[in-house]
Each structure stands twice: as structure tokens, then as C-alpha cells.
Structure 1
Amino acid sequence: MFDTYQFQKINTQNSSQMEKVRQFLLSMGLGIDADVEFFVIALSSNVIVGCAGLAGNTLKSIAVSPDLQGTGLSTRLLTEVVTHAYDMGRYNLFIYTKPDNYRMFHEAGFHQLTAVKDRVILLENSKTRLQEHCEKLSSFAQPGEKIGSIVMNANPFTNGHRYLVKHASENCDWVHLFVVKEDRSFFSYSDRLNMIKAGVKEFKNVTVHAGSDYIISRATFPSYFLKDEGVINYCHTAVDLQIFRQYIAPALGITHRYVGTEPICKVTRFYNQQMHQWLSTPTIDSPKVTYVEIPRCEEEESPISASLVRKYLFENNWQAIEKIVPETTYAYLHQLFMEDTSAYHAKRKQAALRTAQAEQLSLS
């Protein structure tokens, strides 16, 4: 019977095929995250009996019919989707799953990085890659008793971001700044990285670290098997901060982590609140990292935020933008939008349209 299975790759843009996948996953109590690019499905007599999706370098929505679990079909599905990922040049792969599924994925070559008790485990397809990453990081370690750190998305880099870096730079022997790698923000990862580097160049005791798979973005964290938004936020925070404290901070001798107060975004505010606990709890066998929260930088008594910059950008209000971003960011943004062929023109129109539609709905 095993040889009768057929495997097909389905792009998530194929609405008719995806409806069948969606219904299959629904019957298994699972959903589909918006960032999944394609699925590999297993068919038996033209009926879906298993599927596995890929989003970036993360495997998601892996499921097999209950009566076929334990037959080896899960391993076959994983092999199929991993092969497709390798063909796309994606060799470093991750899986978030329930703890009960650990054995199945471990037998397929995935190894546990961290866990949130009874909720989620994170695995990757290597025993040594995280350790190797930390060994590379350690070459950037600097001497000093107070070594600061900042994790930043900067979509785009504002005076608020610069204020936070300046404060950390003045109060630490050295500061390590990590850029979130995901590419689901309005500005691309490469553009965000360029703006950050230009904006902090004057601070001679700051190292900007390019994004890595081990600084985990909330935007790409899976939700297909965690239904409650509060649980999703908690699990993302726990996974990200455990990896930071257990692996990244020791590699660089980090003693402090800096954040700005968050008056706007509830998700970020929750993350910051949880950060203090995860960086200091004695349940983690790693040196504590001191949590430092500083007041958000303001302009005319209003907090400066990247979302405000984007709002002004959608309104083409360059005069307002100039007041709340460094000169380096302003020049970079101007260059991006000067070119008529820039992809950001279309993104700006789409974002402005979504904003207008949301405002109309709120008024109706």
C-alpha cells in the first residue's frame, strides 16, 4: 500500500487545491499560517492523507491521517518537503511542534534547541549548527564589565532607535546590536540593515550583527497549532529569550539588554514585560542578563515610532518624516523613493489602501 501514495507540490496561490488542504488540516485541528509558500501533499486514491508546508526555512502544518500514523508516511512527507527546500538553497531548516511529536521529528534528523513546557519545542536539522553559530559570534566579543545588547527590527530606523543605541553606548563598555532577519516588514531586511548601520556609525563601541535564524521574529512564529493569541505570544517570547540567554549572551559576554518603553504595540509591550522574567529566572542555567528599559523618545510630546514614519510616508509628508528620523535614514528613504521604478512605490500604495480601508471599517 505504501507505494500507492502519490506526492504533489502545491503552491498556496492555487485556491482550489488549497481548499482541500485547508479542510484536511481542519479535520486534524490545525490551521495554515499566512507565510506558508507551498505544501507537499500525500494522496491515496486521490484523497489527501498527509501534508507538510514550507515557510521560509521553517516546516509547518505537518499532518498525517490518524490511521496512517506510525506507518512511515510522516518521514516520507518530511523527506519530500526537505528535498524541495534544499533545491531552493534552504539548508538550515526548523520545526516548531508540540512536545508529543519530538520522537517523530528526531528520527527524521531534527534536534531540539529549546522548549516551552507542554506547549512547543523548537528543532533544527543539525546537532551542531547553533553551537557553531555561537563560536563565530564569540570572535566579536569585547572586554569590559558591562556589555550591552539591543535587538532591533527598525522598520525604518528612527530617532527613537538612535536614542536607545546612544543611551546604551554611553552606559556600556560595548554594545552588540542584533538586526531581526525576517523579510515581512514594509522595508526589506537589507534596507533595514543598511539604515541601522548608517545610523549608528558614529558610535565606536557598537557592533551591528547581521540577522540570524536564532533571533526569532514574532512575524514568522507559527500559530497553526497554537490557537490562543496569548499562548502564541507567550511561546514566542519564551523560545526567543531562552535561546538568547542560553546561547547568544554567553557567547558575547552580554550582561545587559536594553529596550525602550512600548506605549503603542500590545505584543511588543508583553514581550518586554516577559523579558525581565526570562533573563533573570533561576530556572535557566545560564548567567543572568540585566533588563534595562528606558523611556521612549518623543517628538512634540508624542512617542516616535517606525509606524509613525510609515504613516507619514504613505501621506508623502517628508517634512514630518525629517523631524523624527536621523539624517542618514532620511537620505536613504529619499533615495529609495526617488526612483520611479522602485518597488516601494507599489508597496506604499498598497499599504495606504489597506490603511484607508481599515479606517472606513472602523467608522462603519
Structure 2
Amino acid sequence: MEYHTLNKVIIEDRFSKQLTPIKSFLKDQGLEFDKNVEYTVAIYDGEKVIGTGSFDNKVLKCIAIDKNYRGMGISNKILSDLINEEYRRGNSHLFIYTKPKNYSIFNDLGFYKIEEVENKVILLENRSDGIEKFLQKISKRRINGKIVSALVMNCNPFTLGHKYLIEKASKESDIVHVFIVWEDKSEFPNDIRYKLVKKGIEHLDNVILHKGEDYIISSATFPSYFIKDKSEVSSIHSLLDVKIFGEYIAPVLGINKRYIGDEPLSNVTKNYNEVMKKTLPHYGVDVIEVHRICKDGEIISASNVRSLIKENKFDEIRNLVPDVTYEFLISDSAKLIINNIKNS
């Protein structure tokens, strides 16, 4: 069968009815359609879907070929289409999460392994030296010390709870590295979150602030379409992220402690903490779990701040966030963010 006898369909509306047969096709392949995709290419033989692929931001996903059409170069055609469209949108550094058994397929197409959770997931990127360049960059900010600690935070937005945890680590460490999750899936954009934290910790001279870039994995972008047992998703995501931190980031900066806040509210975060406590000591990193601070008997959390924004209760917010965050929230620069939260 020649490739030119087949038809290609492009879909850029995640609510399009054109996605219905693609979802059915993926289900037949033992996969699910990821609801967050923003671009999909499907190959049809007549009325029948025989291959598809999608992406969400810089992550390629939902790639599958009918077993009767494999070996015809269709996966290469689909991947080329996705990559070309990513490049057109300005995304040149791309990632794929897939089953480990698919590694050779994507490696032949120019993707390289970063890390793997055995028999569950493998993370690939389209640069053979991608993570090495990231490590070279952050290594320039290494300062040796007896106790070198790290925190990974989203700060959506930066609260007094975040500030307390960073200050505690600062008091108990020689050097502290703070990584801000960089994937832009939060109500507060990554550059705003970074600036608020930077301003809020400028009094701490032993704290080094980093942009997490592509190697601090957010649960918001971790795909689960190929994981059958959904109860495993949180643990698999957590283990992949923690292994990248322990294998790559901790050694290059000499990190030997990681501070975390305890989590009585979110089962996902609580599970992530348990994975860290179990895994990171194998990399020589002790996990320090700190009780989160409260206000009026309630834990200070970014989600609570966002709820108060939605309810327009800024007097209550003032008691939960540093001055830098409150000043931003009442400024003109925050109006769009606040309106989006209120209308969500």
C-alpha cells in the first residue's frame, strides 16, 4: 500500500467531533485520548483511522499506528508532522513519555532517554545533550557546603507558607537551592511566580533561586494516557520526577537535603512526599518534612489564597501572603490573572 493513497486530517480544536473516531482508535490500541492536547494529526485509510499523534505544548503524546499498517513509515510521517508544527510554533525542545518497550522506535526517530520507571514509563527528549546542557548551566551556581539543601515549589502564588519553609531551610543549611516549577499550567504565569519568590527571599543571602525549566516535572503535564491502572499514575509521575532530581540535579549541585512541607490535605502531594522519603536517601539526599504553618487554625496554602481571590476576600488574603505577593495582587498587573481565577 502506498502512503499517497491515505488521507491526513489535522485537528486543532480539542472539542471537535472529528476527535471521536480518533478516541475510539486509541481505545482499540489500549490507550486513552489525552484531553489536554492542542494539536492532533490523524491518518485515514478511507473512513478508517490507521494512525494518529498529538501534542500539548512541548510534549508529544497519543501516538499510535494500526498494527496492520506498521512498517510503512507512517509513524515517521506523523512524528515529522508534529515536529514541524512544534517548530512552527517556536518549540524546538520536545519530549515524549511512553512505555519503555517503545524506546527503540522513538530512538530511531531522534529521541533520547532521560529517565525511566522500569516497566512503566520512559521520558525522552529530542536532544542528545539536552539535560547535560541544563546541568552545565546550573552547575555554574554551585557553592560547596556541609549542608546543601533544595526545595521545589510551584508558588501559585507565593504564600507565607512557602516563605516560612525557605527561611527554615536557610537557617538550617549552608546553601539552599530553590527550584520554581516552570511548566506554565498554573493560574499565575511562571515568570510572575519566579519574580514574586525572588523579591520575597532577597533578604536570604544563602538561597539560590532557579527556574526548573524542563526537568522538574509537573503533574499538570505528566500524561497518563498509556497507563492502564490509573491508581498508579501519581506514584509513577512522582518516582520519575524524583529519580531525575536524584540522578542528575542533586549531584551536580552537591545537594544532600531536600525540604518538603507535610501534606494533610492533598492525597496526590502526600503520595509524592512518601515517594521522596523512600527514594531520595538512595541518592544520598535526606528528606526533611516540615509541619506547615497555620493561620486561624487553617493551613496556609496557595489553593486557599486562590479561593479567597475568587471570593474577592482580599483582607483575608493579606494575612496569608508576603507583602510582595499582596502588593502584586492589588496592582494593575494582576487584573487579568484575578479575572481569570474569578471566572474559572
Deviation of the 1:70 alpha carbon: 2.6
Instruction: Please name the residue that 1:59 is paired with.
Output: 60
Please tell me whether residue 151 in structure 1 is matched to residue 190 in structure 2: no
- How do residues 181-330 of structure 1 correspond to structure 2 at under 5 angstroms? 181-281=182-282, 287-330=283-326
Secondary structure of residue in 1 paired with 2:220: helix
Q: In 1, Cα distance between the equivalents of 2:229 and 2:141?
A: 39
Instruction: Please name the residue that 1:36 is paired with.
Output: 37
Q: In 1, Cα distance between the equivalents of 2:43 and 2:222?
A: 25
Contact 2:115–2:122 (8 Å) recurs in 1: yes
**Distance 1:14-1:234 versus aligned 2 partners, 3 A rule:** closer
TM-score, normalising length from structure 2? 0.96
Q: In 1, Cα distance between the equivalents of 2:47 and 2:230?
A: 35
Q: In 1, Cα distance between the equivalents of 2:14 and 2:295?
A: 43
Contact 2:311–2:342 (8 Å) recurs in 1: no
CA deviation string 1:138-190 (max 9, x = no partner) = 00001211111000001111000000000000011111100001222121112
TM-score, normalising length from structure 1? 0.91
Contact 2:99–2:120 (8 Å) recurs in 1: yes
Instruction: Please name the residue that 2:330 is paired with.
Output: 334
Q: In 1, Cα distance between the equivalents of 2:69 and 2:314?
A: 59
Q: In 2, Cα distance between the equivalents of 1:115 and 1:13?
A: 29
Instruction: Please name the residue that 2:69 is paired with.
Output: 68
Secondary structure of residue in 2 paired with 1:19: helix
Q: Which runs of 5+ in 1 are unaligned?
A: 282-286, 352-364
Secondary structure of residue in 1 paired with 2:318: helix
Identity of aligned residues (%): 37
Letter aligned with residue 350 of structure 1: N
Contact 2:309–2:342 (8 Å) recurs in 1: no
Q: Which moved more, 1:110-119 or 1:37-46?
A: 37-46
Q: In 1, Cα distance between the equivalents of 2:150 and 2:338?
A: 34
Deviation of the 1:69 alpha carbon: 1.8
Deviating runs (4+, > 3 A) in structure 1?
none
- How do residues 174-185 of structure 1 correspond to structure 2 at under 5 angstroms? 174-185=175-186
Instruction: Please name the residue that 1:358 is paired with.
Output: none
Instruction: Please name the residue that 1:134 is paired with.
Output: 135
Secondary structure of residue in 1 paired with 2:87: helix
Secondary structure of residue in 2 paired with 1:50: strand
Q: In 2, Cα distance between the equivalents of 1:208 and 1:301?
A: 31
Q: In 2, Cα distance between the equivalents of 1:336 and 1:224?
A: 40
Letter aligned with residue 84 of structure 2: T
Q: In 2, Cα distance between the equivalents of 1:98 and 1:242?
A: 17
Deviation of the 1:8 alpha carbon: 2.8
Please tell me whether residue 350 in structure 1 is matched to residue 343 in structure 2: yes
Contact 1:337–1:345 (8 Å) recurs in 2: no
Aligned positions, number: 343
Letter aligned with residue 157 of structure 1: F
Instruction: Please name the residue that 2:168 is paired with.
Output: 167
Letter aligned with residue 305 of structure 1: S
Secondary structure of residue in 1 paired with 2:11: strand
Contact 2:309–2:338 (8 Å) recurs in 1: no
Letter aligned with residue 100 of structure 2: P
Q: Which moved more, 1:196-205 or 1:5-14?
A: 5-14
Secondary structure of residue in 2 paired with 1:202: coil
CA deviation string 1:14-69 (max 9, x = no partner) = 51211122122122221122221010111222432111001111100001111012
Contact 2:14–2:35 (8 Å) recurs in 1: no
Q: In 2, Cα distance between the equivalents of 1:201 and 1:33?
A: 40
Q: In 2, Cα distance between the equivalents of 1:295 and 1:123?
A: 36
CA deviation string 1:293-327 (max 9, x = no partner) = 11111112221111111111111111110111111
Q: In 2, Cα distance between the equivalents of 1:35 and 1:13?
A: 7
Letter aligned with residue 81 of structure 2: E
Q: In 1, Cα distance between the equivalents of 2:244 and 2:23?
A: 32
Letter aligned with residue 336 of structure 2: A
Secondary structure of residue in 2 paired with 1:323: coil
